[in-house]
Amino acid sequence: MRIIRAISFFIVLCMVIGIFASCGKGGDVESKAAESKAESSEAEETSETSVESSEGQKDPLAHIPNQSLGITVTFLVENQNGGGYGSREIMPYEDTAISPYVEERNNMVEEKLGITIKEIRTDNMANDLRAAALSTADFDIAIPYMTTAGPLIQEGLFYDLYEFSHIINFNASYWDQNAENSLSMGNKLYMTTGDFSILTMDVTHCMLFNRTIIASNNLENPYELVNSGNWTMDKMLSMAKEVTADTDGVPGITYDDTVGLFINRNYSNSLFIGSGESFAKKNAEGVPELTVYNTNSVGVVDKIFEIFSDSKILVDEVFNDDAIAAGYTNCYWAARHALGTNRALFVTISLSDILNMSDYTDTCDFGLLVTPKYTVEQDNYYSYISIIFATGCVIPVSNEDPETAALVLEALAAASTSTVKVNYYERVLKLQKIQDEESEKMLDFIFDNRVYDIGALYNWNTLRDFVSSCVIGTSNTFTSNYDSQKNIFIEAMQTTIDYFSE
């Protein structure tokens, strides 16, 4: 990307500074937000009073001066990577429902800035980012999986995005403040995300339930349980065990029988986070502390182990080979098929899986559920963002014009709300796939209570997989494994803290 001419950039900078809220450099994200409250309110007011388009809608890019940069901005994005979670966020990709809105967003940004947006797809993001730091890269911005980029931060591969807080309005709603809070440290932020990230929405964990099975077994209404605060792990387990039955004519419970709960191994993290626990959490000074082990979390993991070890509950990965041999894509498809053909009560999913349930709208009456609480006394429900395939944005240090990259990211995020996010959320999920008004409200509830976990994001010494490794087996090894790994977790975490403190 070529460098903006001095006069042009000076004009842009002066105009943008007058509009954007400054993020400052006097503390972590919490203090930063407090210090810039007045400026942020002014920026939000400016955004709310944006110039309306000919269709009566507010222009999300009204706060950015028109540009004629005359350049191509290239994004490095994740390819399919064998898991079906390839980027659909930067360029229209294949024939997907969201593609027209990605194109609409890009047209807005290209017209506003006078640029052309392109992408390069990669199957090895980490190698490409490392190589870019050693030579001239053929991309300007990267959109990596968070779990790929997190460990690379302390290799010095990315710019601190707070250096461009005069350009990027981090306090605006189209930037994800939850992600910023989890990813920032020592008043530095090397990666964040916002409304452009379809994958971050896709990988939010939740559950589906079968209304027909609820009715035929005279079970309690799950929506009423959520509303009353009584949707707990114990309630989920008892309802599931009541339904599981050997119905395929072959002795033993398999995925071909009627099953109360199909659960995938990674959902152990959702149950853990859904209980209000965390792998790690920042203290009042903004420094991460290991929080995975405490008196309450011991009880939580005991309950998770009870769920995963119950003979009437099926763990998806256990029958993966059998499912593939039977013609399913994998065990997760087999579990969803069981629900779609009225042989499953509960199935754990990511939100993207709802799109695949369109094959069963004529045969199955299903609803959407938030992850259950640990106990009824718990104040709130929490929806875990399984960040393995969630995406963030970074500006590689190979980029000689990071200010322009920051301007493009600001425009991309701002223009995504009314295009990509709204149409993903309202049309793709709500109007096309979810079957009832109660599920639509549940989707709102799930999104309103989504959480990141800094320990899962940085995955110090595989901390993200710690709970799962302790509950998959013949005994619960949570306490013994923590005693042996605690210092290793802390040492790995301290390395990251030291990097941010430099």
pLDDT in tens, 36-83: 333 344 444 434 434 444 344 689 999 999 999 999 999 999 987 645
* Distance of alpha carbon 319 from alpha carbon 236, whole angstroms: 22
* Distance of alpha carbon 401 from alpha carbon 224, whole angstroms: 54
The percent of residues in the chain predicted with pLDDT above 90, rounded, is 71
CATH fold match for the domains 65-202+388-431 and 214-384+434-501: yes
Instruction: Give the three-class secondary structure for 149.
Output: helix
- Check pLDDT > 80 for residue 197: yes
Mean pLDDT of the 210-218 span: 96
Between strands 259-263 and 313-315, the pairing is: parallel
Least confident of 104-113, 224-233, 336-345, 426-435: 426-435
Which of 368, 374, 335, 345 is closest to 235 using CA atoms? Answer: 374
* Distance of alpha carbon 197 from alpha carbon 102, whole angstroms: 11
HSE on the CB side for 348, CA within 13 Å? 31
- Check pLDDT > 80 for residue 329: yes
What are the start-end ranges of the H helices in 211-294?
Answer: 211-216, 222-228, 233-243, 267-274
Q: 48 or 130: which carries more pLDDT confidence?
A: 130
CATH of domain 214-384+434-501: 3.40.190.10
> Which pLDDT belongs to residue 92?
87
Which residues make Cβ contacts (< 8 Å) with residue 450, sequence separation at least 6? 178, 204, 382, 383, 384, 385
> Which pLDDT belongs to residue 215?
97
Tokens of 255: 């995925």
161-179 as b/e, with b when 16 or more CB fall inside 10 Å?
bbbbbbbbbbbbebbbeeb
- Check pLDDT > 80 for residue 17: no
Is residue 185 very low, low, confident or very high in pLDDT (cuts 50, 70, 90)? confident
E-assigned strand segments in 51-106: 71-78
pLDDT in tens, 472-496: 989 999 999 999 999 999 999 999 9
Is residue 2 very low, low, confident or very high in pLDDT (cuts 50, 70, 90)? very low
> Which pLDDT belongs to residue 429?
85
Q: How many CB atoms lie within 10 A of CB 87?
A: 25
- Check pLDDT > 50 for residue 469: yes
Whole-number average pLDDT of the chain: 87
* Distance of alpha carbon 401 from alpha carbon 396, whole angstroms: 10
pTM of the predicted protein model? 0.84
Would you kindly state where each structural domain of the chain is located, as residue ranges?
65-202+388-431, 214-384+434-501
pLDDT in tens, 26-36: 344 444 443 43
> Which pLDDT belongs to residue 16?
42
- Check pLDDT > 90 for residue 169: yes
Q: Tell how far CA 132 is from the center of its chain.
A: 26
- Check pLDDT > 80 for residue 249: yes
- Check pLDDT > 80 for residue 417: yes
CATH topology of domain 65-202+388-431: D-Maltodextrin-Binding Protein; domain 2 (3.40.190)
357: left (phi over 0), alpha (psi -120 to 50) or beta: alpha
Tokens of 450: 């989504």
> Which pLDDT belongs to residue 7?
35
- Check pLDDT > 50 for residue 12: no
Greatest Cα pair distance, the chain, in angstroms, is 78
pLDDT in tens, 419-454: 999 998 888 788 778 888 899 999 999 999 999 999
Q: How many CB atoms lie within 10 A of CB 438?
A: 18
Give the H/E segment covering residue 302.
helix 295-309
Is residue 84 very low, low, confident or very high in pLDDT (cuts 50, 70, 90)? low
Tokens of 482: 């923590």
pLDDT in tens, 151-164: 899 899 999 999 99
Q: How many CB atoms lie within 10 A of CB 223?
A: 18
Between strands 141-143 and 71-78, the pairing is: parallel
